[in-house]
Amino acid sequence: MNTIALVGNPNSGKTTLFNALTGTNQHVGNWPGVTVEKKEGILNFKNKKYNIVDLPGTYSLGAYSEDEIVARDFILKDEPDVVINVVDATNIERNLYLTTQLLEMGTKVIVALNMMDEAKEKNISIDIKKLSKELGVPVVATIASKKNGIEKLIEESINMMSAGNVPQNKINYGKDIDNEINKLKEIIENSNLNTEYPSEWIAIKLLEGDEYISEITDKNILKIAHESGDAIAIAAMEPELIIVDKRYEFIGNIVNKTVKKPKEEIITKSDKIDKVLTHKWLGLPIFALIMLIVYQLTFAIGEDILQEGLNAGMETFTASVESFLVNVNAPELLTAFITDGILGGVGAVIEFVPLIAVMYLLLGILEDSGYMARAAYVMDRIMRSLGLHGKTFISMLVGVGCNVPGIMATRTLDSKKDRMIAILINPFISCGARLPIYLVFISAFFPKHKALILFSIYAFGFLVAIIMGKIFSKTLFEGESSYFVMELPPYRFPTLKGTLLNMWDKVSSFLKRAGTTIFAVVTVLWILSVLPYGVEPYSQSSILGKIGTVIAPIFKPAGFGTWQASVGLFAGIVAKEAVVATLGMVYAGVEEGAQLVTAIQGAFTPLSALSFMIMTLLYTPCAAVIGTIRRETNSTKWAVFTALYTFAVGWIISVAIFQIGGLFGLS
Amino acid sequence: MANMPLNFFSEGQKGKVDNIVGGEKISKRLYEMGFNKGTEVKIVKNDAGPIIVSLSGYKIAIGRGLAQKIMVSQ
Whether A175 has its CB under 8 Å from any CB of chain B: the answer is no
SS3 A597: helix
Compute the average pLDDT of residues A156-179. Answer: 82
Contact list, A381 vs chain B (CB under 8 Å): 48-50
Answer with the one of A260, A291, A318 that is the final residue of a domain. A260
My answer on whether A143 and A211 are in the same domain is no
- Same-domain check for residues A25 and A60: yes
- Give the DSSP letter of residue A304: I
* H-assigned helices in A341-415: 345-350, 353-369, 371-385, 390-401, 403-408
A18-43 pLDDT, tens digit per residue, is 999 998 777 766 566 555 677 889 99
Residues placed in the known binding site of A for Mg(2+): 19-20, 22-23
A457 occurs within a structural domain: no
A153 and A196 in a single domain? The answer is no
The CATH number linked to B35 is: 2.30.30.90
Per the omega criterion (within 30 degrees of 0), is the bond before A239 cis?
Answer: no
B48 near A CB under 8 A: yes
- Please give the C-alpha separations between residue A359 and each of A365, A380, A401, A415, in angstroms, as whole numbers: 10, 23, 7, 27
| Interchain proximity A380–B49, CB inside 8 Å | yes
Best mean pLDDT range from A45-54, A352-361, A523-532, A586-595: A45-54
Per DSSP, the three-state class of A598 is helix
pLDDT per position as a tens digit, A360-378: 888 889 888 989 889 888 8
What band does A576 get if pLDDT is binned at 50, 70 and 90?
Answer: confident
Domain count, chain B: 1
Residue-wise pLDDT for A187-234, tens only, equals 888 887 767 788 888 888 888 888 888 888 877 778 888 888 787 777
Residue A432 lies in a domain: no
pLDDT band for position A354 (cuts 50, 70, 90): confident
* Highest mean pLDDT, choosing among A20-34, A99-113, A235-249: A99-113
**Structural domain of B50:** 3-73
Mean pLDDT score across all residues of chain A: 84
Residue A422's pLDDT is: 93
pLDDT confidence band for A479 (50 / 70 / 90): low
Based on the domain organization, do A51 and A179 belong to the same domain?
no
CATH number for A72: 3.40.50.300
Do residues A28 and A152 both lie within one domain?
A: yes
For the cut 70, the answer to whether the pLDDT of residue A279 exceeds it is: yes
Residue A413 lies in a domain: no
Total domain count for chain A?
A: 2
* pLDDT, position A35: 56
pLDDT tops 80 at residue B59: yes
CB within 8 Å of A109: residues ≥ 6 apart: A82, A83, A84, A85, A99, A102, A103, A137, A167
Minimal CA separation from B1 to chain A, in Å: 22
Residue A50 C-beta-side C-alpha neighbours within 13 Å: 25
> By residue range, what is the domain housing residue A195?
175-260
Highest mean pLDDT among A7-11, A355-359, A524-528, A536-540: A7-11
Kindly state the percentage of chain A with pLDDT values over 70: 93
Binding-site entries of A? 8-15, 19-20, 22-23, 33-37, 54-57, 114-117
How far is the CA of A230 from the CAs of A191, A224, A550, A611, in angstroms?
A: 22, 10, 67, 64
Pair (A73, A45) in one structural domain: yes
Instruction: Determine contact: A322 vs chain B, CB below 8 A.
Output: no
pLDDT at A207: 87
Are residue A17 and residue A125 in the same domain, yes or no?
yes
pTM of the model: 0.80
- Cβ under 8 Å to A: B residues 6-25: 24-25
Q: Which of A137-146, A294-303, A341-350, A587-596 has the highest mean pLDDT?
A: A137-146
Instruction: Check if the beta carbon of residue B15 is closer than 8 Å to that of residue B72.
Output: yes
pLDDT band at residue B57 using 50, 70 and 90 as cut-offs: confident
A152 shares a domain with A180: no
CATH number at residue A219: 1.10.287.1770
